[in-house]
A and B are shown apart, each in its own frame.
Chain A
Amino acid sequence: MYSLHKIYGGDLKNQGSESFRFTIKDFKKVRGAFCSGGVNLSLNFDNGRKVFLHEFEFGKTTDCPPNKRPVIFEKDLDMELISGVVSGIMGQQTSVYLILEK
């Protein structure tokens, strides 16, 4: 069914904004994304042509069921470049995950 793939992890540098890019093999679909609370995430597919998230803010609160916190969507993958930007407080320990499906 699902697999979690960490696409960014680290302390936010560069005035609290970090970009990332990667290609995923062995998975056919992306089913969602989530990241640390209190940061904004932009996520692009199709080599930058399709913007799925634009500075989407992930909250810190825990009053929402954990399974409902990721942004859920369905995007077929075809060896394309996935890129994005994560931004928040400078130095904040941050991670970004994709939910993948084979």
Chain B
Amino acid sequence: MTELSKTAFIIQCFDKEIVNNKVHELKEELDKDYKYLVGIAISNSNAGANSILEQVKVKGADVLPEKFEAAHVMSNGAVAPNKRFFSWFTPIPVSGDEMIIRFSDPNWSTNYNLQVQVLLTNNLEEIVNVLFA
């Protein structure tokens, strides 16, 4: 079994302050030194359980289905940091492409900072073994 510490990967973070229950857009270019997007996670425990990932797109293509429940990619502190990613999608070939995430929290009650983490790698086979081990 491959160990995560031996793989070439990076966790890129998108941050956005959530200030109401409307749709918020997070937009950023992915690290051009990495070739595949293989995982997504939301680390913020302030985000409501009914939060929605309205769209997650790279190069105009959907990474996740529209209106995907954010709870599917959220974990609490009991989950090891390297196991917090959701990876049940086809790895997306990337090359410094722009990623757009549209997020909404219908139960928003107070401002908080949302952090979405994406896992990028150059070594597809090894990282997939780690993610699903």
Does B32 belong to the interface (CB within 8 Å)?
Answer: no
Does A99 belong to the interface (CB within 8 Å)?
Answer: yes
Please provide the 9 A-B residue pairs with the shortest distance between their CB atoms, ordered closest to farther: A65-B83, A66-B86, A63-B78, A62-B76, A1-B90, A6-B65, A62-B75, A99-B88, A62-B74
The 0/1 profile, CB within 8 Å of A marked 1, for residues 68-85 of chain B is: 110111111011100111
The 0/1 profile, CB within 8 Å of B marked 1, for residues 76-88 of chain A is: 0000000000000
Q: How far is the CB of A17 from chain B (nearest CB, A)?
A: 20
Known A62-B74, A67-B131, A93-B50; contact A2-B79, beta-carbon cutoff 8 A: no
A-B contact pairs, 9 of them (CB 8 A): A1-B91, A3-B89, A4-B89, A60-B49, A66-B74, A66-B84, A68-B83, A95-B68, A97-B65
A8 to B128 CA separation, bound complex (whole angstroms): 28
A11 to B88 CA separation, bound complex (whole angstroms): 24
Does B64 belong to the interface (CB within 8 Å)?
Answer: yes
- Tell whether, in the assembled complex, residue B75 and residue A63 are in contact, meaning their CB atoms are under 8 Å apart: yes
- Tell whether, in the assembled complex, residue A63 and residue B88 are in contact, meaning their CB atoms are under 8 Å apart: no
Known: A1-B128, A9-B67, A36-B71. 13 other contacts (CB 8 A): A4-B64, A5-B65, A6-B65, A60-B49, A60-B71, A62-B76, A63-B76, A64-B75, A65-B80, A67-B85, A67-B132, A95-B67, A95-B68
How large, as a class, is the contact surface on chain A? 20 to 34
Which B residues touch A2, using CB under 8 A?
88-90
Which B residues touch A97, using CB under 8 A?
65
Known A1-B91, A6-B65, A62-B71; contact A67-B50, beta-carbon cutoff 8 A: no
Does B41 belong to the interface (CB within 8 Å)?
Answer: yes
- Tell whether, in the assembled complex, residue B86 and residue A67 are in contact, meaning their CB atoms are under 8 Å apart: yes
A93 to B114 CA separation, bound complex (whole angstroms): 22
Does B87 belong to the interface (CB within 8 Å)?
Answer: yes
A1 to B90 CA separation, bound complex (whole angstroms): 5
A5 to B68 CA separation, bound complex (whole angstroms): 11
Which B residues touch A69, using CB under 8 A?
72
- Tell whether, in the assembled complex, residue B88 and residue A67 are in contact, meaning their CB atoms are under 8 Å apart: yes
A62 to B78 CA separation, bound complex (whole angstroms): 8
Known A4-B65, A37-B71, A69-B72; contact A64-B90, beta-carbon cutoff 8 A: no
